[in-house]
Structure 1
Amino acid sequence: MENFSTVGTRLVFAALFAGGAANQAAAATCEFLPNAPDQHEVVKGDTLWGISGKFLEHPWCWGQVWGMNREEIRNPHWIYPGQIVYLDRAAGRLRLGRLVGDSGGAGQPGDTRLSPQLRVEGLGKDAVASIPSGVIEPFLSQPLIVEPDELNGAPRIIATQENHLFLGKDDKAYVRGDLQGGTSFQVFRPGKPLKDPDTEKVIGYEAFYLGTVMLRAEAKPGSEVHTFVVASANQEMGSGDQLLQAPPTPMRNYVPHPPERQVNARVMSVYGGVNYAGQSQIVSVNRGSLDGLDIGSVLQLYHNGKTVSDTTGAKGWHGMGKPEVKLPDEQYGSLFVFRVFKHIAYGLIMQVTEPVQVGDVATSPE
């Protein structure tokens, strides 16, 4: 198989996406790998990130090389096992095709070599995922954080069946609060506050997911107490624990892409309560949907450059002592955002060469 041997060939796109995302601060530059293959046959278990990494220096350039619009980025249900991704060297693009038998020759594109198109039948059922879905599956539907305004009005368990200390599956729980028409709820216990590293303001609380409850009987007139039954119990739950309506299953499959506007964030916490994280671990950042992040946004991770004293001279500049100098921030990995709240987002660590630390910088790709 012939390899892509022209080092430094680049694709520059001034307008990345239609309908709003084209207002990037500057045009982004995508670069093919020097040893990019001519083609790749999609197999079960492939991811968009993995496939794009075979062709591109930066996997987040995937949508740009395809020339995709915003709707295609949000619904990438068009790449399936058995299809072929071709590197069209003449056009400087990736294209989608299929193997043909006797008309075009095995391993060669057929008569139709088109940009990705939406596949209607079995929409998304077998489509290639953006990133390994098994890694983030538990985090897609369970509450990871609770924002301050949600805590104030959240219903809470005020008593348990026969005064049990803890509840298990099929036990009754008595709940007080406004259900807002909901019948299925997740039970959580607020954890430590999450502070914005820049402002020190509390912007959310970690939520310890305990299980789910279903409404058995709504409060009757003259009563404020609803009766629930525990549908599942991951951990022990009891009086004082709070309820959130079970959210709709979030879309799991966005194409990796830069945020629609410049984002400058900081790593706020590592999921699990530790200070360091590595490949395929999950961290939160102090920016969310109100700041321009959506599912599939990719941020670059940097270690903050340290401030050091310049001791190389016998005397400081202008005789003022040893000057303090900030070293450059060092880029060492990427973060794929897969769940977004108003002020906070969670991302999966990708392609890191050093451990991620709380306080590290996460910004839009350059």
Structure 2
Amino acid sequence: MKAHRMAVAGVPTHAWRAAAVLVAALAALPAQAQNFPITPAQRSTAQQVAQAGVPLSELAANAPDSYTVKIGDTLWAISKMYLVSPWRWPELWGMNMQEVRNPHRIYPGQILVLEKVDGRARLRVQQAGGQPATDTIRVSPRVRYQSLADTGIPTLQSHLIDPFLAEPLIVDEGTLERAPRIVAAPDERVLLTRGDRVYARASAGTPMAVTTASADEFRIFRNAVPLRDPYTRVVLGYEAQYLGKASLVRGESSETVVSGSNQRSVPVPATLDILSARGEMRVGDRLLPEPPRELVSYTPRAPELPVEGGAVVSIYGDAVALAGQNQVVVINKGIGDGMEPGHVLAILQAGNQLVDRSQPGERTAIKLPNERNGLMMVFRAFDRVSYALVLETNQGVKVGDRVVSPR
């Protein structure tokens, strides 16, 4: 269900306010595309800041006196514009709790005005034009519909994360071996891609059967590669290589085959059509059911507890030595370590090891301090590993780089 705003001529303000309450209720329904909860800790922080404002020392050096929110803006970008530490967005919200009840409900066209008084800063919202509300709203005499569900600015640009919500998969050893497998293709084709038809069989247990549309889509994987901690070498899980999606057309069955005077029942594999392909597929690749879509909030925030021993395990995707901004990496901290979607971590580049030759006759082995090299945000967590988006980096991120709490 989508909420809509209807603009007509001569409608009293109180009627618009009543309609706005209804719209807000509709926008909060589970069917909405995104869900943005506010945690008690975030609300508490914002309330504390709201009482006194933010110290000027916490403002970004070039924080503008006013800014008009534009289509394409994100909460992260605006927080970074105003605050030294953008993950501390509750302070930004706390500047103006009376006008911005929910920081995820900031809309294009609104004007953010920065006020500085007695060493403190507050932020208020002003509608475009700066005109005060009147008893009657007059617009052109026509009905105009606009979706409200997606007009609020998001935390991050969703296209940076959405493709990875279905692609990376951490499995236990042996999971893929037990999954249904592609056994053949028409015309004995070797490499398969989007639009091709394939045939598959369940490795064990219940044969593949057509049920409902939502349950008949599968993801195709290959080669569960072990993910090892770069320092302890302990296997943290197995990452399956994502290849694409397929839809089940016909389930498995059996058929009686006559050979001379003999009759025997032989299995008939299931039929699937490949819907999308990230890489070429082949016989032997495995099928896992498409999981239900999760509605996740990516509210940037620092972890509640200190992060110790965190490190980059691998760079997702094609083999590259360094991950840049907006690329995805795997870290050795997961749900068991308290990682949650939205946690922001600082990236530390290991200091070089060298020999101190500054003193005549002295040759002492030393290691330079680790230096901060950017920020990343966790967007998907498994038991022992998590996937994170690199938000910013100075020199690129490599396997073995440390990750810590941003404060």
| Change over 3 Å in CA distance of 1:86–1:173 after alignment to 2 | farther
Match of 1:38 in 2: 65
Structure 1 position 87 matched with structure 2 position 133:
no
Question: What is the SS of the residue equivalent to 1:59?
Answer: coil
- Equivalent AA in structure 1 for residue 197 of structure 2: D
- Equivalent AA in structure 2 for residue 208 of structure 1: Q
Q: CA deviation at 1:292?
A: 1.8
Q: CA deviation at 1:184?
A: 1.1
Moved more, 272-281 or 224-233: 224-233
Q: CA deviation at 1:101?
A: 4.5
Question: What is the SS of the residue equivalent to 2:88?
Answer: helix
> Contact between 2:176 and 2:224, CA under 8 Å: does it hold in 1?
no
Match of 1:172 in 2: 198
Distance 1:129 1:291 in 2: 27
The equivalent position to 2:163 in structure 1, one of 112, 127, 138, is 138
Match of 1:26 in 2: none
Match of 1:195 in 2: 228
- Equivalent AA in structure 2 for residue 233 of structure 1: A
Match of 1:129 in 2: 154
> Contact between 1:48 and 1:128, CA under 8 Å: does it hold in 2?
yes
For residues 75-131 of structure 1, give each alpha carbon's deviation from its aligned partner in whole angstroms, at most 9, with x where no partner exists.
964122122333354564444443455438xxxxxxxxxxxxxxxx95642221222
Structure 1 or 2: more helix by fraction: 2
Distance 1:245 1:17 in 2: 32
Distance 2:103 2:42 in 1: 18
The equivalent position to 2:292 in structure 1, one of 248, 252, 277, is 248
Question: What is the SS of the residue equivalent to 2:40?
Answer: coil
Alignment of 1:184-333 (within 5 A): 184-190=217-223, 192-220=225-253, 225-251=269-295, 254-264=298-308, 265-271=310-316, 272-315=318-361, 322-333=363-374
For residues 158-199 of structure 1, give each alpha carbon's deviation from its aligned partner in whole angstroms, at most 9, with x where no partner exists.
333454323342513222145697421111212643211132
Question: What is the SS of the residue equivalent to 1:294?
Answer: coil
> Contact between 1:219 and 1:225, CA under 8 Å: does it hold in 2?
yes
Match of 1:8 in 2: none
Question: What is the SS of the residue equivalent to 1:50?
Answer: helix
Distance 2:268 2:121 in 1: 65
- Equivalent AA in structure 1 for residue 241 of structure 2: F
| Change over 3 Å in CA distance of 1:311–1:338 after alignment to 2 | same
Distance 1:257 1:355 in 2: 22
Distance 1:97 1:259 in 2: 33
Where do 5+ consecutive residues of structure 1 fail to align? Answer: 1-15, 23-28, 69-74, 105-120, 317-321
| Change over 3 Å in CA distance of 1:230–1:128 after alignment to 2 | same
Distance 2:250 2:122 in 1: 59
- Equivalent AA in structure 2 for residue 294 of structure 1: E
For residues 275-306 of structure 1, give each alpha carbon's deviation from its aligned partner in whole angstroms, at most 9, with x where no partner exists.
11222322221222222222221111111123
TM, length-normalised to structure 2: 0.67
Moved more, 92-101 or 184-193: 92-101
Structure 1 position 361 matched with structure 2 position 394:
no
Q: CA deviation at 1:57?
A: 1.0
Match of 2:20 in 1: none
Q: CA deviation at 1:51?
A: 0.9
- Equivalent AA in structure 1 for residue 299 of structure 2: V
TM, length-normalised to structure 1: 0.74
Distance 2:82 2:251 in 1: 56
Where do 5+ consecutive residues of structure 2 fail to align? Answer: 1-37, 45-54, 96-101, 134-145, 255-264
Q: CA deviation at 1:332?
A: 2.0
The equivalent position to 1:336 in structure 2, one of 339, 356, 377, is 377
Distance 1:94 1:204 in 2: 45
Distance 1:67 1:243 in 2: 48
Q: CA deviation at 1:334?
A: 0.8
Distance 1:54 1:225 in 2: 57
Match of 1:18 in 2: 40
> Contact between 1:145 and 1:204, CA under 8 Å: does it hold in 2?
no
Q: CA deviation at 1:249?
A: 3.2
> Contact between 2:327 and 2:390, CA under 8 Å: does it hold in 1?
yes
Question: What is the SS of the residue equivalent to 1:299?
Answer: strand
For residues 27-50 of structure 1, give each alpha carbon's deviation from its aligned partner in whole angstroms, at most 9, with x where no partner exists.
xx9821133122321100111121
Distance 1:45 1:65 in 2: 19
Q: CA deviation at 1:205?
A: 3.9
| Change over 3 Å in CA distance of 1:42–1:56 after alignment to 2 | same
Q: CA deviation at 1:345?
A: 2.1
Distance 1:45 1:20 in 2: 25
Structure 1 position 348 matched with structure 2 position 392:
no
Corresponding residue pairs, total: 318
Alignment of 1:46-57 (within 5 A): 46-57=73-84
